[in-house]
Every structure is written in structure tokens, then in C-alpha cells.
Structure 1
Amino acid sequence: MKKQFKDESYFDDLFKKLDEDIIWNQKRKNKLQNKILSNIDTYGHQNRIVNGLKYASSIGVLIVLLFIGYNYFSHSITSNNANVPIRDDQSENQFVMNNENENKSNDIKEFPKVETNMTKEELAKEIDLRLPNIPKELIPKYIMRKSRDDLISAEVHYIDQPDLFIRFDQSELIESKKKVIQKVEEEMYKKEDLMKLEIKGYPSFLHLEGESSSYYSSIHIVTNRYFFTLTTHGLDRKEIIQIANSIDLSGL
């Protein structure tokens, strides 16, 4: 019995000491808590700044990592795509496009117009030259253009000055007379911009950019064999028609 009471007394002492330790620790905890709370107002702003900097730094690091990862991923995709074979339909479309571009290039190469400076006599041997009557004091420049399908056009520059310009063109027809007239009316100009008339019995079209002679003007004549164009600047309507009427169109 005594031993039992002794044991109970021993445990009572232990519990008492434990209670004291708990109370002491609670007091210490309360003191620390009060100290922390009292310092919040002093250090709270600084802590927010520090935390903000830490947060911003974390975001910056994350952005850098994402950027590096994106570049690596994009490079990998590009490298992989370079090794992936193109589908058959894509290859076929590309083949068609390449053929079309090649055909267009061939068309351009097949029909270039070679420009050759010639004398009037040399040009007259190549084409049935029908020139207008232009003052003799002008020294014209004669040019022959020839395509690979042997179609010839003559170009004569009479004068090229700021206040006066006269050029004459004569080309062999590559289409029917009716088709050429249709193109002049519907493609070269709007119908309302053209004045229809006849030059020596042949359908002709006068285009005036303005009523004043300071504008460029053109008159086109369509015969069965040739297409004539007279382009002027510094001449009025009456003078243009007069020059056009001086062209010898007999037998065309």
C-alpha cells in the first residue's frame, strides 16, 4: 500500500510539473505572439514590399522559363515538320502550281518583243509601213519590234518634248478585226471615254484625256491587216484627226 501511495505521489509530482511547463510555455507563446503582433505595423509594409519583390521575381523567372520552353518547342516542331513527308494531295497541288508558273514563264519567254533601231528604209522592208505626214524638220527614231511568232510592229518617235509629243505605232493584227474593235471599246478604254469616227472608211477611236491640248490624246485605226495608233501631246483634236487622215490606208 505504501508503495502504491508512493507511486501515486510520484505521478502527482510529474503531472504538476507538466502543468507548470504547459502554463510556462503558454505564457511564453502569448508573449511571442504579442511581440509579433506589435511588430506587424512596423514591419508589415516592408514585408509586403519584400513579398511583392519575391512574387515579381517568381513571375519573371516563370516568364523566362516559358519563353525558353516555347523556343525549344517551336524549334522542335520546325525540325520535325522538315522531316515529315508532304501528303500526296499537297504534292499534287504544288506540282500543278509549279507547272502553271513554269508555263507562264515559258509564255513570257516564247513571245518577247525584240527591239531593233532601224532606218526608215530598213523598217519598210519588214512591214508595209504607212506613215503619217509629219513636218520634215523633225528627225524621227524608227524602232522595229518582232516577236518569236514573227509578228512585227513599227514604232516611230517623232518628237518627245515637255510641250510636244508625237508617236506613231503600226502593228500586225493577231486577231480578227471585230475582236480588236471589241477590245478597244471594252478593255483599253471605257466606252464613254471614246469618240467613234471613221478615218478613210475604217473604224477609228479618239481618246482625249482632256479638252485642252496639254493632255495626252490617242487615236486608233483598225484595218483588216494593221492596228494604227497615233499618240500626241500638245495638239488639239482637229490637228490629231488631220494627222491621222494623212496616213495612206489604201489596200488595207
Structure 2
Amino acid sequence: MKNPHYEYLGRRMREYHRTHQWHMSEGGLFIPHAYWNMGSDSLSTWDDVGFILNGRRVIVWWQHPRRIYGEAISSMAWKEAGDGPRDDWLFEGGTKNYKMVGKSKRRKKLFTTTSRAPSEAQTEHYAKLQAIEERLTRDGIDLEVRPSWKWERLNWAMGVSLVAPLEVRNEKELAEVARLARALILQKTSLADEFPGFVYDKASWLREQALLTQARDAKAWRGA
């Protein structure tokens, strides 16, 4: 029995695909990002890629497990720091900057707003939060992240959220993300088959933090 909601979304996907064309690579992928700042030893965290499957768009939102782990550290730091002062310094109490307009220069128009500095209490809270996050980053937390994926129907594409231990530092490696997502959708593989027994945990995080520290030290030594 057909689902009217899914049928409607399918029509919307096809209509959107006809009227909003993707600029595809030679390999048939929609690649929204560039990789000029990625080296062969960079640790990647997230990326997006799109492709066409059975006449419909598929957009893949990929994340490395280290990103999930890092975001958990940030969330834990916010929780440990507690609620800070309610100082909306970004939007309240700023200086309004006007620009004269018109031939007579007698009228002025709001051009920009310069935010004021945060209060002393807010600055202290930010410092506390930063110290906590630095400590958790240095020591790690007890968390295990395993590969996962799920998909959802949108009115312009099929959306695939994918967590997998791949490295994406160039278009060739991004193509592997697209290959994996396509194979998962078509049930030609599973994450258990692709990454048997994989888990990203505290040991993984600390090992990578040590590599990052070594890379920073080496860069500082070269610049000295």
C-alpha cells in the first residue's frame, strides 16, 4: 500500500531536482567544499557529498567519530561550567553605526552595529568554560562512538546521516563516502562488514591528541 506522504515527498524531490540543478563533478558527485587547507596527515571531522540515485538526489552528511567525541566534550564542559550570567553582549548595548545617504547627505541609515565587550562576570565564565574544555580535551572522557547511519526523506532529497571512521581530505576520499552511502542504501553492505568491531574511545582520542601536539610542536620548531 502506497504511503501518500512518501509519494508527496517523492514528487517534491523530482520537481526540485528538475528546477535546481546540481553542479556535478566528472565523477558524478556534488562536492560543496574545497580541500586547499587539508594535508595528507590532516585529521578530518565532517563533510557533505551528493549524488543521484534512481533519479533522486541523495545528500550525505558525514562525520568522523572523533567529531562526535569532541562535541561530547564541549557539551560536558558547558554542563560542568553551569549557567553563566545572562549578559547578551552580542546583541544588547552595542554601538550603532550610521552611514549618510542621499545626494544631500542629510539622511542616515543604520550600517553596522559594534557589539560591546562582555561583562567581567561573563568573561570570567568564558575563561572557566575554556579551562574545563581544555582539561577534558587533555584527559579525555569515557565515551564510545561506533559507526552508524540513518536516512530521512526530505522534500528536496534523501538525507543520509553517516558516522564512519573515514578520512576525507580530498575529492578522491570524499568519493569513498559517497560509495559507502550508496552501498548502504542499496543494502549491498553494512557498517559491521565495513568496520568490524570498530569503536572510537578515550584511547583513540588521546592517541590523536598526542599526534596533534607533536605536529604543533614540529611546526613551532620549524618556525623558530
TM-score range, shorter chain: under 0.3
Structure (1 or 2) with the greater helix fraction: 1
Considering only CA atoms, is the larger Rg found in Structure 1 or Structure 2?
1
Query: TM-score, length-normalised on structure 2?
Result: 0.22
